[in-house]
Amino acid sequence: MAYAVEVEQLSRRFGSVAAVDGLTFRIEPGEVFGVLGPNGAGKTTTVRLLNGVLAPSGGRAWVLGLDPAAHGCELRRRTGVLTETPSLYERLTARDNLHFFGALYGVAEADLPRRVDDLLALLGLSERANHKVGSFSKGMKQRLALARALLHQPDLLFLDEPTAGLDPEAARQVTAWIEQASRERGRTVFLCTHNLAEAQRLCHRVAVLDRGRLLAVGTAAELARTLWHGLWVDVDLRTRPPGALADSLRALPGVTELTLDEDRLAVQVEGEAVIPSVVATVVGQGGQVLRVNPRVYSLEEIYFRLQRERKEGAA
């Protein structure tokens, strides 16, 4: 299978500091891939490496089948980047900004005016099209920067902290546009963010970076399984059965751990297939079950667990 992005042992050093240190991961076409990590984790450097803007110190990368270090110009025609700061020309109007970048991205001169108008309308900026960008709010600038990133209809969209510093309303708007952009044309999205809720909402898979190193990569469920080993199931009880329920459950094959309160049972099982026998044991001993919920970990819980494990490992 041809991956949208394939990275092997990618590294970039600045003097003695490793900004990116041996990254290896793959992104499938059409996937929304999140990259999480604190400041200095190497997220922005990775975006620069994958666009051929920065040369790697080691390792290889293939983006849309191209080596960014060798075919940067060709690759950048097919990628769009929303930088962390909007990076717009504030003395020029919104329309001038888009015309300028459209020409640089090689949008045909005949198509450019219509494409610019369509995007300005789509992102709600038509009325301010001929105003200087310096007069725009931060949210408007971010929308205009997103328009710039989409102008040449890229196959792969890099978004570096797209909602950083925006108020909740503007952030929600930008997130909605990103969702829409990711659905168009089976576009692949590489999303760097601190915002774990945003990543949870948008991303199919995430990679967690710290000090340039990859701590983990996968879906939230996959990461949870590696961190919490097995599946926790919460069982809400209407009536707790008399007798030694805990001993009976521990004797079941596939049950590895449990806690039992007055009206709540938490059981760790090896897989979903064990859940029916847990329920049957509770009911068989005279208990009444209200709800059975396989525990789903939020990306926030996963992220902080990874960071804690990394710190404990370092100590």
Which residues of this chain interact with other proteins, rule CB under 8 A?
A: 14, 48, 51-55, 72-74, 76-77, 79, 81, 83, 85, 87-92, 96, 100-101, 103-106, 109, 132, 145, 148
- Give least dist CB 55 to other proteins, A: 5
- Give least dist CB 167 to other proteins, A: 21
Choice between 107 and 235, CB closer to other proteins: 107
- Give least dist CB 133 to other proteins, A: 10
Choice between 60 and 132, CB closer to other proteins: 132
Choice between 59 and 254, CB closer to other proteins: 59
- Give least dist CB 128 to other proteins, A: 17
Choice between 164 and 227, CB closer to other proteins: 164
Query: Which residues, in sequence order, are CB contacts of 223 under 8 Å at separation 6+?
Result: 206, 208, 216, 297, 302, 306
Choice between 104 and 221, CB closer to other proteins: 104
Strand partners, 293: 234
Please count the other Cβ atoms lying within 10 Å of the Cβ belonging to residue 33: 23
DSSP state letter for 230: S
Distance in angstroms (rounded) separating the CA atoms of residues 162 and 179:
12
- Give least dist CB 56 to other proteins, A: 10
Amino acid at 20: V
- Give least dist CB 79 to other proteins, A: 8
Are residues 281 and 249 in contact, defined by beta-carbon separation less than 8 angstroms?
Answer: yes
Strand partners, 137: none
Q: How far is CA 237 from CA 260, 269, 292, 295, in A?
A: 10, 18, 9, 16
Choice between 74 and 272, CB closer to other proteins: 74
Which residue, among 155, 163, 154, has the nearest Cα to 199 in the 3D structure?
Answer: 163
